[in-house]
């Protein structure tokens, strides 16, 4: 896997994980019993974007490591089996 492909894959995984991580730990203004006039009660009371990005980056890095390992070890069957042919032929018993 090239560096450009790895960065593109990490970027896509990071954005996907962001939408999964974003709602965790959100406390709404209704739950806090402190609704600011002019805002919906479902609006977050406290939102720490830096914390969300940090958690997201850690989770995305773990997911990327699993995906990268799966691709490099051909767990998903993405590489053609021809690459393994010479090793298989060396393991075969000699003819005769």
- Give the Cα separation of 54 and 82 in Å (integer): 42
Q: What is the pLDDT of residue 13?
A: 96
Asked if residue 87 is part of any domain, the answer here is: yes
**Domain enclosing residue 11, as ranges:** 3-91
Which residues, in sequence order, are CB contacts of 58 under 8 Å at separation 6+? none
> Do the domain assignments include residue 37?
yes
Q: DSSP alpha helices (H): ranges in 1-96?
A: 3-21, 29-32, 49-72, 85-91
pLDDT in tens, 21-37: 998 888 888 888 888 88
User: Is 44 part of a structural domain of the chain?
Assistant: yes
CB-count burial class (<10 Å; 0-12, 13-18, 19+) for 41: middle
What's the pTM value of the predicted model, to 2 decimals? 0.69
Whether residue 96 is contained in a domain is answered as no
CB 54, CB 17: distance < 8 Å: no
Count of structural domains within the chain: 1
Which tokens sit at 62? Answer: 């773990």
| 48 belongs to a structural domain | yes
């Amino acid at each position: 896997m090239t560096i450009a492909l790895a960065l593109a894959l990490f970027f896509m995984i990071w954005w996907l994980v962001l939408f999964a991580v974003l709602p965790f730990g959100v406390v709404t203004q209704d739950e806090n019993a402190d609704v600011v006039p002019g805002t919906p009660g479902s609006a977050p009371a406290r939102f720490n974007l830096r914390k969300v990005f940090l958690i997201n980056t850690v989770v995305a890095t773990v997911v990327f490591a699993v995906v990268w390992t799966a691709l490099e070890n051909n767990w998903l069957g993405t590489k053609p089996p021809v690459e393994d042919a010479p090793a298989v032929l060396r393991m075969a018993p000699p003819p005769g």
